[in-house]
Amino acid sequence: MRRCIALLALLAVAAWPAGAAPLRTANGFLNANQPWHFAFPRDHAAHDGFASEWWYYTGHVRARDGRRFGYELTFFRFGLRPGAGAPRPGQSAWRGNQFYPAHLALTDERGRRFVHFERFARAALGAGSASNTHLEVHADDWSLTGPAPFHLIAGADGIAIDFRETSEKPPAVHGHNGISTKAACDTCASHYYSMTRLRTTGTLTVDGERLPVEGISWMDHEFGSAELQANQAGWDWFSIQLDDRRELMLYLLRQKDGSVTPASSGSLIAPDGAVTYLPRSAFHVEATGSWKSPHTGGVYPSGWHVTVPSANVDLTLAPTVLDQELDNTSSGVSYWEGAVDVRGPDAKPLGVGYVELTGYAGAVSL
């Protein structure tokens, strides 16, 4: 679904007459509320016709000495205006129609520590880029290539990842007809898929120490032009990887009056990769506790009971570290993005997951 920094780049959408959704938003970007036939590896690449896009990786890795770590690496692409490509020969190298923020976070479970870092690059002078023909994204010295394997490189201040990730399942496309609906308006949608089971190997550097690691990761790739409405305050998003080789993606879009947007939904991915769409009525998420940030004062849910009755799913999620808040990012937005353990009703470990919570340290405005 991703992600919080994207809210700052979403532009107001004019009202459209009843009938078929328009091909473009009022600002001229492509409207994601149109059927989309995903084709791979093509759709791993950038989609410059849409206003916003992100490639989002989270995962759980283990070092040889048993230490466990969670990580997040996200590359964003935002278009400043539609229809303006890279500088042509003879034009100034300072020209650039795209900008590329990126976030890196690491959770050290044994050390009970969470750190996060940022990059912010414009297309000008080649500081940032995302190919629209193949998967090749970079923001300064952080980079993503792929998909066979996906290769992630990022680091700062003695923390670094150099991971290679091989998919064990085909892409899981969310929603209907390639459309992931976010609200009732004609342009409130995105195109969204996930790589839900990525076998991960590589090197994690912690305080300058290089650790060979292996584990499991999740990738989201989402692109659109106007995903949310002004009355939506934020969201709760869940990715869950079960030991029985099923996965769950769920999102709850919260409105400023405290209700949940009816378009909130999810997907259940079977061991063979088959995707079952989950409407809001098919799952239940209940917070089991809360955590108050010492950094921002925001009060976040902390711990969850998740059920999908039709799939016999009954899970309890608990943060591996309470404080996994990315506070005071350069965008001015703070949000909680963290690794969670997944257990069954008998407290038996059943898998791992990641949770993202936005709008709790102040409502997120469009």
Burial of 265 (0-12, 13-18, 19+ CB in 10 A): buried
Backbone φ and ψ of 280, nearest 5°: -55, -35
Q: Are 291 and 355 in contact (CB under 8 A)?
A: no
In DSSP terms, which residues pair with 337 in a beta bridge?
Answer: 356
**pLDDT at residue 90, as a whole number:** 65
> What separation in angstroms does the CA of 1 have from each of 97, 111, 180, 185, 366?
24, 30, 9, 18, 16
Per-residue pLDDT of the chain (366 residues; tens, 9 = 90+): 444 444 333 333 333 344 468 889 888 899 999 999 999 999 999 999 999 999 999 999 999 999 999 999 999 999 987 765 555 666 555 566 888 999 999 999 999 999 999 999 988 777 899 999 999 999 999 999 999 999 999 999 999 999 999 999 999 999 999 999 998 888 899 999 999 999 999 999 999 999 999 999 999 999 999 756 778 889 999 999 999 999 999 999 999 888 999 999 999 999 999 999 999 999 999 999 999 999 999 999 999 999 999 999 999 999 999 999 999 776 668 999 999 999 999 999 999 999 999 999 865 543
Which residues, in sequence order, are CB contacts of 17 under 8 Å at separation 6+? Answer: none
- In our burial notation (b when 16+ CB lie closer than 10 A, e otherwise), range 338-351 reads bbbbbeeeeeeebb
Give me the residue spans of the domains in the chain: 4-10+28-86+95-357
Report the Cα 50 to chain-centroid distance in Å.
17
**pLDDT at residue 18, as a whole number:** 40
> CATH: 2.40.370.10, 3.40.50.740, 3.90.105.10, 3.20.20.70. Which one for 4-10+28-86+95-357?
2.40.370.10
Report the Cα 106 to chain-centroid distance in Å.
15
**pLDDT at residue 13, as a whole number:** 34
Residue 53 tokens read as 């896009």
Which residues, in sequence order, are CB contacts of 5 under 8 Å at separation 6+? Answer: 76, 101, 103, 329, 331, 333
